[in-house]
Structure 1
């Protein structure tokens, strides 16, 4: 009996916001190695986004760069429209875009808090809203939080307030998508050697934070990208979770 061959499966399509940044770039490259078509979404610095795309294409993968302000609902909706028109749909959304401005609460410039809230909270709501409307069955949404929500380090108060909102939204969305075969999780990195983390810190502070995990080193963007790849791929039974990815730093 001759079997009818299965139709050729098209590559899964992943949108990575903040895809030109340290962790976002590593995530983009890692998902491309898994065979996904990656859309590197960026707000500024198109040169960096195009370099990530060039790296992926040079390694035999498929990628494009798209600009959007994650907190602007019109721009984000247009981004997803372009992705669907170009690639037929969206299977994975990884929302890495975020900013971190540190100060003790007594000295906090509320304009800095407003900037973080716009990008980290409103941006997550805007991107997640489009993601949950459009992700195909078998899809995955991965938000980005921080391990500092549980470590409670001084000067991080306003920043972790924005990321606590991401944690809560992630768990609610996982339940709202009941029956859709779409997972929703958040990754919460610990100290990771990216410009976002290293900027403004002296070497003593960096060394102290690097010594905190039992593995006695800072995380690397590729460490975080491996966890994202698991959640975006085979990790289908992990859902509604905030995963601490920090080398074992104690709470």
Structure 2
């Protein structure tokens, strides 16, 4: 076991996206962490200004997810913070549907894959290495629109459904982890509307003061994780730390 593994370490999956990048930067400047693992599809251009950052690339295949997690856990047996920041709302050939007529299988499958399948595969690959961890707090990027009770507008079929499915997967995982990894706390996190590529086409309709910077969300997410210890339950929280109805 290396000396660094005895100190707190953190992991950001999706570390080159808007929120993930901000979280990784924020934690690299936090003296609690001896290392911050940043996993993304593309390597950063420059690691030099963040000496604690350890960058890994992934193609998000099931095999590669397993290999990356084994590499991280081999050195970082005391991961204390994990953020899984993966999501898609629109792409070249798809966007949030306003009506049933707009539903297309390929688009629905892609939105579901990125928003639900991939986060759950990462959690699955990490879980065996966290069973003896006394304190690991994990935030997975969800969304308020994944709430069934809070859905009063309809639309956005694929994105809403994918986030709702993610929430259910995380709920089931929390029940299992309460038995097998009692030091783990799971949080389904709603960051609000953040000034990133994901929200860019829809920012005109955001009320004044409700479009957040990624740095602000990174600070709020850090605070939410710091405030919630393992309790055998999953929390569904927004950027202000307020509960969201399932």
Q: Could you tell me which residue of structure 2 aligns to residue 240 of structure 1?
A: 234
Cα RMSD for the two superposed structures = 2.8
* Structure 2 runs not aligned, ≥5 long: 91-95
Which one has the largest radius of gyration? 1
Q: Which runs of 4+ in 1 moved over 4 A?
A: 151-155
CA contact (8 A) 2:183 2:230 kept: no
Deviation at 1:50, TM superposition (A): 4.1
Q: Distance in 1 between matches of 2:151 and 2:19?
A: 20
Classify 1:231/1:69 alpha carbon distance in 2 versus 1 (closer, same or farther; 3 Å).
farther
Q: Does 2:54 match 1:56? A: no
Q: Could you tell me which residue of structure 2 aligns to residue 83 of structure 1?
A: 72
Give the TM-score normalised by the residue count of structure 1: 0.78
Classify 1:76/1:156 alpha carbon distance in 2 versus 1 (closer, same or farther; 3 Å).
same
Residue deviations 1:49-69 (CA, integer Å, cap 9, x gap): 344x44423xxxx01111123
Deviation at 1:114, TM superposition (A): 0.9
Q: How does 1:36-115 map to 2 (within 5 A)?
A: 36=33, 37-43=35-41, 45-46=42-43, 49-51=44-46, 53-57=47-51, 62-70=52-60, 72-88=61-77, 90-101=79-90, 102-104=96-98, 105-115=100-110
* Structure 1 runs not aligned, ≥5 long: 1-6
CA contact (8 A) 1:22 1:195 kept: yes
- Say how many residue pairs are matched: 226
Aligned with 1:38: secondary structure?
Answer: strand
CA contact (8 A) 1:191 1:218 kept: yes
Q: Could you tell me which residue of structure 1 aligns to residue 221 of structure 2?
A: 228
From 156, 171, 181, the equivalent of 2:183 is 181
